[in-house]
Structure 1
Amino acid sequence: MSKYLGIDLGTANVLIDVKGEGIVLNEPSVVAINTNNNDVVAVGKDAYMMVGRTPANIKAIRPLKDGVIADFDITEKMLQYFIEKLNVGGRFSKPTIMICAPTNVTPVEQKSIIEAAEQAGGGKVYLQLEPKVAAVGAGLDIFKPQGNMVIDIGGGTSDIAVISMGDIVTSQSLRFAGDKMTGAIQAYIKQHHNLIIGERTAEQIKMEIGCVMDADESKTFSASGIDIVSGLPKEITTNEVEIQEALSDGIDQIVIAAKNVLEQTPPELSGDIIDRGIMLTGGGALLKNLDKLLSEKLQVPVLLTDSPLDSVALGTGVLLDHIEKHQKY
């Protein structure tokens, strides 16, 4: 009997949910390649440890960009590695897979995602849109004739959608999400402190003192990098106030997109959203006071889901259950 796998193929992380077992894998979407012979040196956590620290012949690659596949071959190798690691395939049975994509994904990109999953060892492969799956994983009943709104801020995309009766009514997808936030912090530190910091350092700053409202100047982070002027190693101290400033332009984009989605929502569903609130999920949802800021700007209650990082993977598991029970969704 084949296994059922739900895969959150994220720009930053890959999460896999196995039916009956829950989320069994959560690893960075990174593959280290030996450029001399194109052999895979490391995948996931081991490869992430190499980012910014490899010799010339080893390249740490993120094969997904803005929520879609940028390097098909490397994505296939990464998925194959993770699926084999779980030991869910068999000689005569391949796992049934559900995999997710952003709302603005093109038909060509959809096909490449499905093909990558099939080539990596999948049997029947289903593709679902991320905000729909995230809403299910966050505990919303999207199958009733009522409005549910979700803001899912991942690594590559921020997906905003209103869902009713199991389908998306109106949506918008932005290429500003976790990775661009990290880049914005790098750019800010370079401009204001004359310091070049690595991607991993910027990501750590984001996770530890990332803030979008009511920043606390006393919350600080010591960052090391290369001084632009001298070219020598240097350490500086940044704080929540600076990081709030670094992220402000990008967060404004998310607010504007959410307003656009609300403006396009039918009045009856808008009433449901006012009553039920907006569900905030994804890794970016963990930024300090983001729920508070969105609620203030949108004039609608905003609720942070219990497990923002896991919502998409958990949602795939629920939707695969519907498929197995032959329920239409």
Structure 2
Amino acid sequence: MAIFSKDLGIDLGTINTRLADNTQVLLNEPTIVAIEVDEERMSEKMVSIGQEALNMYGRVPENIEVVRPLKNGVIADYVITEALLSYLLQQVGGSMRIFRPRVMISVPYGVTSVERRAVYEAVLEAGSREAYLIQQTTAAALGIDLPISSPSGNMVISLGGGSTEASVMAMYGIVSAETLRAGGLDMDEAIITYIRRKYGVVIGQITAEQLKIKIGAAVPQDQEQSMEVQGQDQVTGLPRPITLTTGEIVEALQDPLKDVIETGRRVLEKTPPELVADIIDRGVALCGGGALLRGIDKLLTKALGIPAYLVDNPLTCVVEGTVRGLELYPVLQRSLPKV
């Protein structure tokens, strides 16, 4: 590493983007941007980025749009993503015109060459000196110190906001993996649909997420919790309060959770028996924001027949692993995504 340059890792997520160097997580911002649209001039102007933009979600006038530039873990709007990355890199490194950083950024397994190229070019255009890609679960494994350098099997399931990824790794490479292009946002949507069908009340994504975090669970709980939320009556259009329980959120989440289970099962079916035996001994590491859903470790343990456990740093292991990936680049190089 050059004396005045910096090595940075980026976890570019559908919900949150995190930046870290080799000492700490430097930044954690929602991956969301507010844009002012001028229809007469056919132009767009960025109003706010990150937490400030998230606070505006669902509360803006017609001329302002609050958008997520990533969908299902990949770039949906290149221009906005580049502007977002440029802003975040400047936040941690000043102007960086002279000493630009070397960056490693995570991408889901199985993304297309076009999607990989979009991420790679966005990072370079945002101000990095060099850019490298790493699979999300490989970064997560490095961030939680799994022994993926050995010939034994290690399994990680990363439950993100826009995608869910399951991988089995050995010898620094991915042996079998699958990405489900659905995640935490789809769980929120399932809660919204459930409430609309059962109560005839419409709630927003932010409210659904609060329900999921505060009283949600993957399996029935011994202690039932409840939470009151304000929604909009479908018939009258007027505000209407309703009270939801943990059991109802469990019921609402069954379909998206079945998809997560099936993704894990398919990966295990494609894994050589010797490596499956290793995974039975070591367990399945769960990371990402979705791994914080209460009881999801128990659900996956029962469904897969292999112990599943929540890692110590589920939210930051990917970004910490991207930084470590830069240090290990010479040995990782052959198994990293090509651009």
Q: TM-score range by the shorter chain?
A: over 0.9
Comparing 34-43 and 209-218, the one that deviates more: 209-218
Q: Is the 8 A contact 2:172 2:332 kept in 1?
A: no
Secondary structure of 2:58 counterpart: coil
Q: How does 1:6-21 map to 2 (within 5 A)?
A: 6-20=9-23
* Structure 2 length-normalised TM: 0.94
- Give, in whole Å, the separation in 1 of the partners of 2:172 and 2:109: 15
Q: How does 1:140-219 map to 2 (within 5 A)?
A: 140-215=146-221, 218-219=224-225
Q: Give, in angstroms, the shift of residue 176 of structure 1.
A: 2.1
Secondary structure of 2:253 counterpart: helix
Secondary structure of 1:38 counterpart: strand
Q: Is the 8 A contact 1:155 1:178 kept in 2?
A: yes
The partner residue of 1:52 within 50, 58, 67 is 58
- Give, in whole Å, the separation in 2 of the partners of 1:328 and 1:49: 39
Post-superposition, which runs of at least 4 consecutive aligned residues in structure 1 deviate over 4 A? 326-329
Q: Is the 8 A contact 1:2 1:89 kept in 2?
A: no
RMSD: 1.2
Can you list the C-alpha shifts for 1:69-115, whole angstroms capped at 9, x where unaligned? 00000001111111111125533221100011111200000000001
Secondary structure of 1:308 counterpart: coil
Secondary structure of 1:170 counterpart: strand
Secondary structure of 1:56 counterpart: coil
Q: Give, in angstroms, the shift of residue 122 of structure 1.
A: 1.0
Aligned to 1:24: 26
Secondary structure of 1:35 counterpart: strand
Q: Kindly indicate whether residue 277 of structure 2 is the aligned counterpart of residue 274 of structure 1.
A: no
Unaligned runs of 5+ in 1: none
Q: Is the 8 A contact 1:3 1:89 kept in 2?
A: no
Can you list the C-alpha shifts for 1:283-306, whole angstroms capped at 9, x where unaligned? 000111000110011111111101
Query: Which residue type is aligned with residue 24 of structure 1?
Result: L
Query: Which residue type is aligned with residue 33 of structure 1?
Result: I
Q: Kindly indicate whether residue 35 of structure 2 is the aligned counterpart of residue 33 of structure 1.
A: yes
- Give, in whole Å, the separation in 2 of the partners of 1:194 and 1:138: 44
* Structure 1 length-normalised TM: 0.96
Q: Give, in angstroms, the shift of residue 34 of structure 1.
A: 0.4
Q: Kindly indicate whether residue 6 of structure 2 is the aligned counterpart of residue 3 of structure 1.
A: yes
- Give, in whole Å, the separation in 2 of the partners of 1:293 and 1:191: 26
Aligned to 2:255: 249
Q: Percent sequence identity over matched residues? A: 43
Secondary structure of 1:187 counterpart: helix
Q: Is the 8 A contact 2:146 2:154 kept in 1?
A: yes
Aligned to 1:287: 293
Secondary structure of 2:232 counterpart: strand
Q: Is the 8 A contact 2:103 2:132 kept in 1?
A: yes
Q: Give, in angstroms, the shift of residue 322 of structure 1.
A: 1.8
Q: 1:28 to 1:4 in 2, by over 3 A?
A: same
